[in-house]
A and B are shown apart, each in its own frame.
Chain A
Amino acid sequence: MAEVSRDDIDAEIAAGNFSRAKNLLAQLWRGSAKLSTASFVVGRFDLLRPHLELAACRAAILRSFTLEPVIPVLRCEAFLGGIDLEVRLGDFNAAAQEILAADGWVYTSPLDVVILAVQTRDISPPLWEQFTDLGGEAIEAEIFRVVSHFQQLIETFRQRSTAHLIVHSLESPPIPANGILDTRLPLGQAAAIARINAALFEQARQLKNVYVLDMQALAGQRGQPWHDERRWLMSRYPLADGSALLLAREWLHFVHPIAGRICKVLAVDLDNTLWGGIVGEDGPGGIKLVDQYPGGGYRALQRAILDLHRRGILLAICSKNNPDDVMEVIDKHPGMLLRREHFAAMRINWNDKAANLREIADELNVGLDAIAFLDDSAAECALVEEQLPQVTVIHLAGEVGSYAGQLRQSPAFERLELTAEDQSRGKIYQGQRQRADLQKSAPSLEDFYRSLQMRATIEPITPGTLSRAAQLTQKTNQFNLTTRRYSEAQMAALAQGSGFTLRLSDRFGDNGIVGVAILRGEGDVREIDTFLLSCRVIGRTVETAFLSALAGAAKKAGATRLAGWFVPTKKNAPAAGFYARHGFSQTAEKEGSTYWELDLTAAIVAAPAWITVEGAGI
């Protein structure tokens, strides 16, 4: 591939072809992922920023060592992944002071995420380079000191800030001070450092929004020395060329879900992606899927895809093929790990892939920006990048043994927490397909609603449902009246007594928690701060049942009026008209948003007769 020239990119920007310029920048970066390229890309993104749809995220990095050269690489990768990442670096080796200063910038600046990057050699010179000086007791004492120090920092931060916190765990020296004896000692160097890390992992598990970045595993991924001792001694910058990119990418694995820049659907190609060869030419018996090279590489990729499915990522097929050939492989080939039941949507035809991806988005009721597309063909990937700039394209390049790793490297599928809904989402969509079949056979819409036997459980938000409720405010775009995004911490503060969840089940199964509403205010008026429904239950009149329950709750609390804003966005057209449909009158307008009120003393919002509503405390 010819290298993209910087002049070409500037010409595209000057001509107003911003999306094309972004693709060229991505190509330039893929061809040369070095510091100077990163600086160039970041510079140009400053010009493109107003013209692209980027998720905003504000990060601070508190550190014990020089990290400045990683920042352009981090921001470059973030931009290309659709995130406008603002980064503030703490002062050199001032992480502890900055966390402990109660009114310092860490707490007065608006931040979404704080990274605590401390190296073993800085926080514990004895464990890093003086290990053979230490006796057993001194080692124990040092472990205790370091663990206590971390615990104090993390607890202090958690009490004072609602931002997400990512803590680097400690790396071991690549070669232990005692060589192979290290594992023979009662408490070797690697084991001592691992004890500190185990304490870190445990503490993080106990706290909200605290995560540990596993430095030992990350340094091991590199396959080459992580550190460059010459640079460390010259400028306190410890990273070898190439390590900076891996570190930036690892940070982004956390930043993507924090910024909400994640994909819900993975659409996959088939020939030479899920298996070796072309099924239409080689036949189902001729494709490569046995557990050796190269077949084993394709199976490893299928395994990685299956792992994503278990994490709640919906799978779709987007393939130019003959459906009969494909289904024979999917249903019968003994080497397949992915089967019919794993796929929520299939487009197996000869249409262009951009058109098929659009259809998949429609069928699954998600935006194009929630779709990732996986293909081995550079041409197909380029076409999709060109036509659907919102889609995350993962191009499998090189040899098949590296395919699974390439998919696992994508930050688009990371989740900060795994909810019960995530784990069963695949099954939920299977139910969705059955419901669609029923709708086709039902004589009228009302008959269809009745036949679903819907049961809505509406309850105040509890500690057990808080995580899912916050997640829904983060992810729901379509049926969302105000599109206000809340973290778990914000949700906990807001929801106290006036936040509600709706769980919907029907004859095809439990959809889980699919609705969130928050009421605000006291006295005569209750304002609807948030009202949303997951896209999978849109069009089933559930919103009316939910609103009816809210009106009841407001009335019970002594309110005479129920009010709320409708804030239009590019995606929430399905929620437009909601207030008008339910008897609200518009009483104000501001910057495109409209304010609606309902007189609770005169009007009643009745729940649809075909939904059984139950719940506690509402």
Chain B
Amino acid sequence: MNESIEIQVRQIAADVLSIPLARISRQTSPETVAGWDSVQHLNFILALEQELNIQFDPEEIDKIRSVGDAIDVAVGK
């Protein structure tokens, strides 16, 4: 289950940021991806909510600063 969420989150990051899935790791973050600005961040959060059918609290959104963070928060839902 957790593994499938991890795969989904990585795919969503690849789609939204337009980079190959193979280049997405837990460490991928706005610091490592040039195009990951505030707009893409909002799109990433929205896409996660849509695809995983969950809703993040503001505190959870604050915690999401990398793909790994997103996986952890999503798995915790």
Which stretch, A65-73, A127-135, A183-191, A511-519, touches the partner chain B?
A65-73
With both chains docked as a complex, state the minimum distance between the C-beta of B54 and any C-beta of chain A, in angstroms: 12
Instruction: Evaluate whether A68 and B43 lie within 8 angstroms (CB atoms) in the complex, with A36-B12, A40-B15, A234-B58 already known.
Output: yes
* Chain A residues near B58 (CB-CB < 8 A): 234
Contact A39 B55 (CB under 8 A): no
* Chain A residues near B43 (CB-CB < 8 A): 35, 39, 68-69, 72
Contact A68 B50 (CB under 8 A): no
Instruction: Evaluate whether A35 and B42 lie within 8 angstroms (CB atoms) in the complex, with A43-B18, A234-B58, A234-B61 already known.
Output: no
Contact B18 A68 (CB under 8 A): no
* Chain B residues near A36 (CB-CB < 8 A): 11-12, 15-16, 47, 50-51
Q: Which residue of A lies closest to B8 (CB)?
A: A36
B7-63 residues at the A interface, CB under 8 angstroms:
11-12, 14-16, 18, 21, 39, 42-43, 46-47, 49-51, 55, 58, 61
Q: Which residue of B lies closest to A239 (CB)?
A: B46
With both chains docked as a complex, state the minimum distance between the C-beta of B51 and any C-beta of chain A, in angstroms: 6
Q: Which residue of A lies closest to B48 (CB)?
A: A36
**0 or 1 for each of A218-243: is its CB under 8 Å from B? (1 = yes):** 00000000000011001101000100
Cβ-based interface call for A303 (8 A): no
- Name which of B14, B15, B42, B43 has the most chain A CB atoms within 10 A of its CB: B15
With both chains docked as a complex, state the minimum distance between the C-beta of B42 and any C-beta of chain A, in angstroms: 6
Q: Which residue of A lies closest to B17 (CB)?
A: A39
Contact residue among A34, A230, A235, A237 (Cβ-Cβ distance under 8 Å from B47): A34
Q: How far is the CA of A37 from the CA of B51 in the complex (A)?
A: 10
Q: Which residue of B lies closest to A41 (CB)?
A: B15
With both chains docked as a complex, state the minimum distance between the C-beta of A32 and any C-beta of chain B, in angstroms: 8
Q: Which residue of B lies closest to A234 (CB)?
A: B58
Name the prevailing secondary structure of the B interface residues: helix
Q: How far is the CA of A303 from the CA of B14 in the complex (A)?
A: 45
Q: Which residue of A lies closest to B18 (CB)?
A: A43
Contact residue among B15, B21, B61 (Cβ-Cβ distance under 8 Å from A39): B15
Instruction: Evaluate whether A66 and B42 lie within 8 angstroms (CB atoms) in the complex, with A35-B50, A36-B47, A241-B50 already known.
Output: yes
Instruction: Evaluate whether A39 and B42 lie within 8 angstroms (CB atoms) in the complex, with A34-B47, A34-B50, A34-B51 already known.
Output: no
Contact A39 B47 (CB under 8 A): yes
Instruction: Evaluate whether A39 and B50 lie within 8 angstroms (CB atoms) in the complex, with A68-B43, A69-B42, A234-B61 already known.
Output: no
**0 or 1 for each of A18-62: is its CB under 8 Å from B? (1 = yes):** 000000000000000011110110110000000000000000000
Q: Which residue of B lies closest to A7 (CB)?
A: B21
With both chains docked as a complex, state the minimum distance between the C-beta of B65 and any C-beta of chain A, in angstroms: 17
Q: How far is the CA of A230 from the CA of B46 in the complex (A)?
A: 12
* Chain A residues near B61 (CB-CB < 8 A): 234
Contact A237 B46 (CB under 8 A): yes
* Chain B residues near A37 (CB-CB < 8 A): 15
- Name which of B16, B49, B55 has the most chain A CB atoms within 10 A of its CB: B16
**0 or 1 for each of A61-95: is its CB under 8 Å from B? (1 = yes):** 00000101100100000000000000000000000
With both chains docked as a complex, state the minimum distance between the C-beta of A75 and any C-beta of chain B, in angstroms: 12
Q: How far is the CA of A231 from the CA of B47 in the complex (A)?
A: 13
* Chain A residues near B46 (CB-CB < 8 A): 35, 69, 231, 237
In the assembled complex, 26 residue pairs joining A and B whose CB atoms fall closer than 8 Å, in A order, are A6-B11, A6-B21, A34-B47, A34-B51, A35-B46, A35-B47, A36-B12, A36-B15, A36-B47, A36-B50, A36-B51, A37-B15, A39-B15, A39-B18, A40-B15, A43-B15, A43-B18, A68-B43, A69-B46, A231-B46, A234-B61, A235-B42, A237-B42, A237-B46, A241-B49, A241-B50
Known: A34-B50, A36-B51. 9 other contacts (CB 8 A): A35-B16, A35-B46, A36-B47, A40-B15, A42-B18, A68-B39, A69-B42, A230-B55, A241-B50
Interface residues of B (CB under 8 A from A): 11-12, 14-16, 18, 21, 39, 42-43, 46-47, 49-51, 55, 58, 61
Q: 5 smallest A-B Cβ distances: which pairs? A: A36-B15, A36-B47, A40-B15, A43-B18, A35-B47
